[in-house]
Amino acid sequence: MRPGADGRDDVALLRSVAGGDEEALAALYDRHAGWLTVRLTRRCARPDVVDHAVQDTFLAVWRDANAYRGDGDVAAFLWGIGIRRLIDAIRRDSGTKRWRPWRSTEPEVVVSAENQVLVGIEHGHLGQALAELSPELRAALQATVLDGLTCAEAAILLGVAEGTVKSRCHRARAALRTALADQPRALTHLPRNQAWETP
């Protein structure tokens, strides 16, 4: 956040945006655009496409801040819009024609359950198994499981055919099952990493 930034919390800002407060939108942008840009860049390396997605995300929030139902993290709400806008931007960029979306925002992607699993994952056997997957299989898993995209959307994000996404997910899950076959306790205990500090 920049110095002198808005002190209101995210939900209050969203409510102000719903009321037409442009300053609140700017404050929301200042707070969230940075990490959103980083997270989207991890899905798509093209900076101009990511820029468009970020602009469209906050534009969608401006147009329909009421889509936030008050449940869950505002950051997750923004991410749900952001990833879908990124897919739209990629689709536009690749020139494929399609019907434009009726609603300007879509329901937020719920990833909190997976989040718990993923924190500290690099140290468990699940993490090791994931690391042993080939990058394309991992990317397919990330798109469908972490980002909660449909196979069609994941196909656009990854730039492959929908069938390819499906088969990659299938192979990824099979490989994980094999790798974890003799590690039944992988998910229940995850060791602490020295690189993580307690504040």
Q: Note the residues at the interface with another protein (CB under 8 A).
A: 1, 22, 25-26, 29-35, 37-39, 41-42, 47, 51-52, 54-55, 58-59, 62-63, 73, 75-76, 79, 99-100, 102, 111-112, 114-123, 127, 130-131, 135, 138, 142, 146, 189-199
Residue 189 main-chain phi, psi, to 5 deg: -130, 125
Nearest to 80 by CA among 63, 48, 104: 104
Nearer to another protein, 109 or 155 (CB): 109
Q: How far apart (Å, rounded) are the C-alpha atoms in residues 50 and 101?
A: 19
Nearer to another protein, 115 or 178 (CB): 115
Nearer to another protein, 7 or 163 (CB): 7
Q: Rounded to the nearest whole angstrom, what is the least distance from the CB of residue 64 to another protein in the complex? A: 11
Write the CB contacts of 172 (distance below 8 Å, at least 6 apart in sequence). 133, 137, 138, 140, 141
Q: Rounded to the nearest whole angstrom, what is the least distance from the CB of residue 34 to another protein in the complex? A: 2
Nearest to 87 by CA among 158, 162, 145: 158
**156 within 8 A of 87, measured Cβ to Cβ:** yes
Nearest to 178 by CA among 125, 139, 141, 113: 125
Nearer to another protein, 182 or 197 (CB): 197
Q: Rounded to the nearest whole angstrom, what is the least distance from the CB of residue 102 to another protein in the complex? A: 8
Q: Rounded to the nearest whole angstrom, what is the least distance from the CB of residue 141 to another protein in the complex? A: 9
